[in-house]
Amino acid sequence: MYISDKNKQLNTYDAIVIGSGISGGWAAMELCKKGMKTLLLERGRDVKHIVDYPTATLNPWDFKAGLNNTMKDREIDPVQSTAYSPADKHFYVSDAEHPYIQEKPFNWYRGYQVGGRSLTWGRQCYRLSDLDFEANHQDGFGVDWPIRYKDLEQWYSYAESFIGVSGNRENLKQLPDGEFLTPMELNCIEKHLGDSIRKHDEHRLLTIARVANLTRGWDHRGPCQNRNLCNRGCPFGGYFSSNSSTIPAAMATGNLTLRPFSIVTEILFDEQQQKAKGVRVIDTLSNEVYEFYAKIVFVNASTIATAGLLLNSVSSRFPDGFGNGSGQLGHNLMDHHSSAGAYGVHEGYTEQYYKGRRPCGFLIPRYRNLQHDKSLDFKRGYNIQGHGERQEWMDKAQSIDGFGEDFKAQLTTPGPWTIWMAGWGECLPYFDNKVSLDNSRKDKWGQPLLKIDFSFRENEHKMMTDIQHTCGEMFEKAGFKNIDTFNYNKPGGSTIHEMGTARMGHDPKTSVLNKFNQMHEAKNVFITDGSCMTSSACQNPSLTYMALTARASQFAYEQLKKGDL
């Protein structure tokens, strides 16, 4: 490839951001707002807010086979089809087109498009606390986080204030409050369980989920109309996505260049400067290869893809992957488990119902190991997420016998109140849970396939048992019947909270990034997606990625101004 000086100039920006999902959208917005000419590279197609949400306003009967995937879907997308339905299939990749290797079963759910998985995410937003930031240091598992809650506190506020998070203040140390819009409301059965929990255990409480769904108009968006169809994209802009929020804000500055259909295959190293000089890109429309240059590079391709991209960026300085002097790159992969929980039926409140479809459930914040508890046989903890409802036709059909008028009458009227809940649990960072490249197998663009080798271990399994136990107990105390405690034993990846493959740490020998998400070994590269996470905590992680991204952008900007980058 020959690049003239003129082209080089044309292809040079102040900053490059790789990936336009939750964290990349934030990076692009922050850098643009600081006046930097920013190139946002996205491997997938463009998805424009509202106009590219083809299913958002469809009725159930508009889907000719209901929400069933076809046999063909299941055959070509054996992983993604377990998450998507005809309503949101277009926001997931095709496994056939984007294969990866599972050393052990691992569900890698992806959305390759502008907005990434911000379109389909569950919108749960929780802050980490010092219980989490100090955990590795306390029990010696994994390296110490180089930051504490106070480093991130203002950035959490900053992120929440921008995206709009509804929730209730609870004044808990293990789950700090945020800048909340009016909370959504618990229904009768959830209040009932909450009252019982408060009465029986002073350390536990049940609160409404904290979600990036707007309970009032916010930043020209929303309010949420309680349709609970968010994963199709929201025509009211009722929830946060890159498409509805950060990317338009970045566009509005006039500093953003968004380039979809651009797979970044390598980060280019400048031997003289000991820095990144830019990136190499395959244009998937023309199959041509381009190079783009910038003073700083933000890597936000999402945890597993980011690891793959860095491992694929080799040079004489970095024979084992970009910035991988520590040998930690690709390792310490984590995902929360959310397999264990319980389901129960309650006979009360038969005269009560609800109207509208609240797009979230409830949360029981972490209550295990708040102090080290010797009676427990596992480290760290979990929170419980769930929701209550009256049985409707989907569930009722299974339990009614026969057919005919009686059957119909029962089918079409509300059944008993039920609650389903499960524990979202911390996963420890294990060195040999990892992502690597298989250079003997290539995708259709000639790039090596990613290989994922991950399993949950003893600590996670013991925690799952405890979850079943405590969930069952809370139900029992609250007078629930037919309690079914379950463990779905879902494989890794199923909670879609992958993280840890380029962790932050104090020491370049044992970590990839410093406390500002800056690469130890290449100062102008910043990684602020989930790969930076030093431990997983048990909170849904994306809010933390946003806060870290905003903080790192500010730092990068200041360093650049000072001439240190």
Partner 1 sequence: MNRRLYIKSVFGLAVAGTASFSIFKWVSINRAIVPADLVHKRDLLAELAELIIPQTDTPGAKAAMVQDYIITVMLNCTPAKEQNKFIDGIAELEDYTAAQYGKAFLKCSPSERKAVLKHMAKNSSGYSYKILNKINNKLFGKPFFLKLRELTVDGYCQSQLGATQGLAYDYIPHTFEACIPLLKNQKSWATK
Ligand X SMILES: Cc1cc2nc3c(=O)[nH]c(=O)nc-3n(C[C@H](O)[C@H](O)[C@H](O)COP(=O)(O)OP(=O)(O)OC[C@H]3O[C@@H](n4cnc5c(N)ncnc54)[C@H](O)[C@@H]3O)c2cc1C
- Evaluate the omega torsion of the peptide bond into residue 223 and state whether it is cis, within 30 degrees of 0: yes
Does position 159 interact with ligand X (CB under 6 A)? The reply is no
Binding mask 242-271 for ligand X (x = CB under 6 A): ---------------------xx-------
Q: Which is nearer to ligand SF4, 239 or 322 (CB)?
A: 239
The single residue among 254, 319, 402, 446 that binds partner 1, judged by CB under 8 A, is 402
User: Where in 334-363 is the site for ligand SF4 (CB under 6 A)?
Assistant: 359
Which residue in the set 4, 61, 374, 375 belongs to the binding site for partner 1 (CB under 8 A)?
A: 61
Residue, CB closest to ligand SF4: 238
Q: What is the 3-state secondary structure (H, E, C) of 261-310?
A: CEEEEEEEEECCCCEEEEEEEEECCCCCEEEEEEEEEEECCCHHHHHHHH
Reported residue count of the chain is: 565
Instruction: Please check whether residue 69 is in contact with residue 84, taking contact to mean a CB–CB distance below 8 angstroms.
Output: yes
| Residue 117 contacts ligand X per CB under 6 A | yes
Compose the 405-434 pattern: x for residues touching partner 1 by CB under 8 A, - for all others.
Answer: x-xxx-xxxxx-------------------
64 contacts which partner out of partner 1, ligand SF4, ligand X, none, CB within 5 to 8 A by kind? partner 1
**Strand-pair partners of 442:** 448
Q: Which of 1, 5, 60, 562 binds partner 1 (CB under 8 A)?
A: 60
The residues, ordered by sequence, that sit 6+ positions from 451 with a Cβ below 8 Å of its Cβ are 100, 101, 103, 435, 436, 437, 438
Displacement of CA 375 from its chain's centroid (Å): 32
Closest distance of CB 225 from ligand SF4, Å: 4
Residues of span 182-201 touching partner 1 by CB under 8 A? 184-188, 191
- Which is closer to partner 1, CB of 127 or CB of 210? 210
DSSP string, 428-481: ---TTSEEEEEEEEE-TTSPEEEEEE----HHHHHHHHHHHHHHHHHHHHTT-E
Residue placing its CB nearer to ligand X in the complex, 206 or 478: 206
Q: How far is the CB of 528 from ligand X (least distance, A)?
A: 8
Of 86, 122, 194, 500, which lies in the binding site for ligand X, with binding defined by CB under 6 A? 122
Could you tell me which residues are beta bridge partners of residue 422? 341, 385
Helix (H, G, I), strand (E, B) or coil at 32: helix
- Binder among 11, 12, 157, 226 for partner 1 (CB under 8 A): 226
- What gap in Å lies between CA 540 and CA 560, rounded to an integer? 32
Distance in angstroms (rounded) separating the CA atoms of residues 120 and 374: 40
User: How far apart are alpha carbons 198 and 367 in whole angstroms?
Assistant: 12
Instruction: Evaluate whether 251 touches 240 at the Cβ level (below 8 Å).
Output: no
Contact call for residues 295 and 556 (beta carbons, < 8 A): no
Cβ 486 to partner 1 shortest distance, Å: 10
Q: Looking at 98-106, 362-370, 394-402, 535-543, which segment touches ligand X (CB under 6 A)?
A: 535-543
Site for ligand SF4 in 236-275 (CB under 6 A): 236, 238-239
With CB cut-offs between 5 and 8 Å by kind, which of partner 1, ligand X, ligand SF4, none does residue 117 bind?
ligand X
* Residues contacting 473, CB < 8 A, separation 6+: none
Q: Select from ligand X, ligand SF4, partner 1, none the partner in contact with residue 405, using the beta carbon and a kind-dependent cut-off of 5 to 8 Å.
A: partner 1
Question: Contact 445/437 with Cβ under 8 angstroms?
Answer: no
Spatial distance between the Cα atoms of 24 and 302, rounded to a whole number of angstroms: 9
* Residue 86 lies near ligand X (rule: CB under 6 A): no
Rounded to whole angstroms, the Cα distance separating 174 from 111 reads 32
Q: Which of 55, 102, 107, 120 binds ligand X (CB under 6 A)?
A: 120
- Asked if residues 193 and 388 have their Cβ atoms less than 8 Å apart, the reply is yes
Q: How far is the CB of 288 from ligand X (least distance, A)?
A: 15
Q: Determine the Cα–Cα distance for residues 505 and 374; give it in Å rounded to an integer.
A: 28
Among 165, 224, 247, 258, binds ligand SF4 (CB under 6 A): 224
Q: Does 35 bind partner 1 (CB under 8 A)?
A: no
Rule CB under 6 A: which residues touch ligand X? 18-24, 41-44, 109, 112-113, 116-118, 120-124, 263-264, 300-302, 305, 309, 496-497, 529-530, 540-542, 545
Rule CB under 8 A: which residues touch partner 1? 59-61, 63-66, 68-72, 184-188, 191, 225-228, 349-358, 389-390, 392-394, 396-397, 402-405, 407-409, 411-415
Rule CB under 6 A: which residues touch ligand SF4? 213, 224-230, 234, 236, 238-239, 359
